[in-house]
Every structure is written in C-alpha cells, then in structure tokens.
Amino acid sequence: MVDLAALLRTTFGFEGFRGVQRQVVDRVLAGANTLAVMPTGAGKSLCYQLPALAMPGTCIVISPLIALMHDQLRAAEAVGIRAATLTSVDTNQAETRARFRSGDLDLLYVAPERASSEGFRRLLGEGRLSLFAIDEAHCVSEWGHDFRPDYRLLKPLMDAHPDVPRLALTATADAHTRADILTQLGIPDDGLIVAGFDRPNIRYAITPKANTARQIAALIAETPGPGIVYAQTRSGAEKLAGQLAATGRPTRAYHAGLDPAVRARNQADFVASEDMVIVATVAFGMGIDKPDVRFVAHAGIPKSIEAYYQETGRAGRDGDPSVAHMFWGAEDFARARARLNEVDEARLAGERARLDALAGLVETPGCRRAVLLRHFGEDPPETCGNCDNCLNAPGVIDATETARKLLSAVYRTGQSFGIGHVEKVLTGANDDRIDRLGHDRLSVFGIVAGEEAGLIRPLARALQARGSLVPTEHGGLALGGDARAILKGEAAVEIVVPPKRERRRRADRSA
C-alpha cells in the first residue's frame, strides 16, 4: 500500500489534504467512479495526480483547452510527474505514444476530439491504464454553459475499459447539470462529491453602472494589491485600460486580439506584480495561479452565476480579504436576452434559466453569498455579514403601480421606443418628437410625476433584468416575460433602492 501522506509531502510539498481531496482520492483508489464538484482553487488536479502516481499504469486526462493542458503539463513535470500531452500542436506525438506503450507515463493529457479517433482508441489498448480523469466535465452536458459535443464520445471510449475508474471534475455545475454529467459519463448517483463553495474572504458587491470607469477607478483607489477587471469586449478592455491608467496604478489590457507575445508578457508581468491592474476579457485567468489577487471587478454582467463564481473566485486564493464588485446596466441584460434569440432550441431553456438566475443575484435585496451558495446546492445562513447587502441593507419598495404605468406606456407607444422616449411620455415632457407622433394624446402621457419619476430608470433596469421588458431589433423596448401579468395586476414588482446612507450621500453631492 502506497503511503499517500508521504507522497503528498515529498512529491507535492503539501502538509495534508484540503477539503474533499482525501474523500475523492480514496474513492478513486477504491476503483469507484466519481464526480467531484470543487470550486476553482480547491485543488482538483491533485485528485487525479496523486492516484496517478499511486496506481500502476497511465492516467488519461481529458481537458478541453490545449493552452490549459500545456500549463498543466508544465506544472506536473515541475514536481517530477512523468507526463505528456497528445494534441494537434505537439510535434512529439510518436515519442509520446511510445512512452505510453512502455508504461513511461503517469499522466497523458488529451483533447476530447481524440476520443473519437480510431487511432487513439487503438492506442489505449496498447498500454496500461490507471484512471480516466475528465476535467471540466460540465462540457458533457447541454445544460452546462460550455457544451462540447466531443465529450459525449468519452463514455463509449471508457466503456471499452470497464475496469478503469473514472473521475469527472468540474468547478461549475448546478444541480441539473450535475445529474446530467453522472448519466452522460456513467457515474452512479452516490459517486457525487461536492466541496463547499463558500469563499468567506471574498466580499461581494453588485452596483448599477453610473460611469463605470469612474466607479472602477474608485474601487482601485481603495483596494491596494493586484486586481482583475473583466470587460465585455476586446475594444472595451482596451478603452477601459486606457481610462484606468489615470489611477496611477500599472494597468495592462489582456484579450485574444493582442499579439501573443504582448499577451504573454502582460500575463507574466501581472503574475509577478504586487499592484498591477489587468483589464481583460474572460479569456484571462484560466490556468493562472496568482493567489494574491485582491479584487475582481466586472464592467458588465458575466455570462452566468457559474461564470461569475469562477471569475470572482480568482480573487483571494491566499485567504486574505478580497473584493468582488460587479457593475451592471440594463443594456447588459438587453444584449444577453437578445442573444437568446440565436440559441438553438435544445439549449434555450438552460440559457434562459441561467440568465434569470443571474438577474436574481443582481436584483436581490438579500445576501449575495446566500444566493450564490444556494445556486450551488448548499443551504447557507440567511446573511453572511460580508457582502454589500448584508453590510448595508438596501431599501426595497413595491413599484408595481409604476411598473404598470411604464409597461403600459411601452405598449401604447407601439413597443418600438427606447427608455428615453418612454420616460418623456410618462413625465409629460415638452418634446417635438412626442408632438409629432401624437404621443401627448395618449392616456399615459404625463401620468408620472414628482418622486415617482425617479423610479422610472431603476425600474426599467429591473424589468429588463427579469425579462419583463425585452429589447427590439432597433434598440427599442417591448413587453416580454411576465409583463402581461404585471399589467393585469397578477404579478408584483419590487425594486431595490440604494441603502439609506448611500441615498443621503448622493443627495448631499447633488446639493
């Protein structure tokens, strides 16, 4: 029997297992099929690397990204594990095959496409296998956010080796996706091991956009240490990096459009830096190991709660206090909902549910952490004391009446105008376009006044987040989701307004 503790210490230099690692490793060594759901940074690699060393034969690691595979290969070789990758860009494929056949590899990293190749199937029969490790296993599910059809070929491939245990690993899987992974990869229900998802040292905050560059500059000013700012597009990342350079902190951009040498240098400089801000698209962060990231900011919404968790999870891996701050706008949800129109039927329900869950996180007056953890199937306390809403409770107001006026105005103006025009109609503005269109003769003209007028914009934002207002092709707004139920008085609309202190501060500033 191999002394695991000794192996852990001598090969990896770790004092002990962390979290569920021991549980996962024990199951794998017992030959059972397993799905380990562990958050980013929890140490998934060890769960297959250690068994790979402890068991005779080669562990086949399925991984979806070549760049990630090469990072992992370097990391494995650095601790003395005999490993290789078999990908389209590797020039040493013949050598790697020979090493596999002669039992000279502990780990063999391959892309899922290989699973369908006859040559690879044959190769597997020519060596000795210890384990199948399926990284980023959510790619096997259409419910997952990153479906890769090639992952579906893994089960038949593994079925040809019934005595070789399977270990599927993912950081991001809601209950639905998990169940699907178990089925698609042939893992029994009791093979599911879920690690705790809480990252208590991360303070979550989510704020509507109001000059995002200035908001993020303020965050940078009050948060020393390295930080990541996620932008939605390459040009957005470039522009924001330019604006944030004025903070005086070293600032770099990172996105797939940059020259590879520049990108690599920016990444390396960031990893080495103690105060750099990197403004990146979501391409950044996968496979980088920088424990002291002090903040992650989102300039716009992420793709899903899973993506948010993963991206914010790059903050504070050293356990020290860190901040995750998202800045969002109605246009983010408008764009995301418009994209749903292009999603094919099979994935539509999943995509829509993901967006609704994200809107729920953004719009909640309650604890952000509780929403996140519940999403991952945990049963957290109602409050955490370390998110914006717990630290400074926002106000919640019933805005159903105003919502009905707003939706009605959208409807009566023909569901083709943006919020600017609709607001003018509602507040009875004196406006040429309104006169020309005869919108001053509508029953909704001028029916909102005084303080209520201040609710129109936040309400429109909330209604877009929840899908009751959806974008038209030409940038207007139309009724969607539960809009009709709201109009009929069958659904209520509550909106979150800034905490009292914040409201007072704003009022002081504008005075």
Per CB under 5 A, residues contacting Zn ion are 367, 369, 384, 387, 390
Does 40 participate in binding ligand ADP (rule CB under 6 A)?
yes
Decide which of ligand ADP, Zn ion, none touches 42; Cβ closer than 5 to 8 Å per partner kind: ligand ADP
Does 21 participate in binding ligand ADP (rule CB under 6 A)?
yes
Nearest distance in Å: CB 57, Zn ion: 47
Does 38 participate in binding ligand ADP (rule CB under 6 A)?
yes
Decide which of ligand ADP, Zn ion, none touches 40; Cβ closer than 5 to 8 Å per partner kind: ligand ADP
User: What does the angle CA 200 – CA 203 – CA 208 come to, to the nearest 5 degrees?
Assistant: 145
CA distance 236 to 217: 15
The answer to whether 306 touches 323, Cβ cutoff 8 Å, is: no
Does 108 participate in binding ligand ADP (rule CB under 6 A)?
no
The answer to whether 215 touches 244, Cβ cutoff 8 Å, is: no
Q: What are phi and psi of 251, to 5 degrees?
A: -130, 135
User: What does the angle CA 413 – CA 418 – CA 420 come to, to the nearest 5 degrees?
Assistant: 100
Does 41 participate in binding ligand ADP (rule CB under 6 A)?
yes
Decide which of ligand ADP, Zn ion, none touches 45; Cβ closer than 5 to 8 Å per partner kind: ligand ADP
Amino acid at 410: V
DSSP three-state, residue 85: strand
Decide which of ligand ADP, Zn ion, none touches 44; Cβ closer than 5 to 8 Å per partner kind: ligand ADP
Residues 318-357 that bind ligand ADP (CB under 6 A): none
Q: What is the DSSP string of 229-273?
A: EE-SSHHHHHHHHHHHGGGSS-EEEE-TTS-HHHHHHHHHHHHH-
Q: What is the DSSP letter of 334?
A: H
Nearest distance in Å: CB 167, ligand ADP: 13
Number of residues that bind ligand ADP (CB under 6 A): 13
Decide whether 138 or 369 has the Cβ nearer to Zn ion.
369
**How many residues are listed for the chain in this entry?**
511
Nearest distance in Å: CB 294, ligand ADP: 17
Nearest distance in Å: CB 111, ligand ADP: 18
Nearest distance in Å: CB 383, Zn ion: 5
Task: Map tokens 């987040």 to a residue.
Answer: 465
Amino acid at 58: T
Q: What is the DSSP letter of 468?
A: S
* DSSP run (H or E) holding 351: helix 345-363
Binding to ligand ADP by CB under 6 A, coded x per residue (else -) over 281-310, reads --------x---------------------
Nearest distance in Å: CB 307, ligand ADP: 15
* DSSP run (H or E) holding 417: none
Decide whether 393 or 447 has the Cβ nearer to Zn ion.
393
**What is the binding site for ligand ADP (CB under 6 A)?**
14, 17-18, 21, 38, 40-46, 289
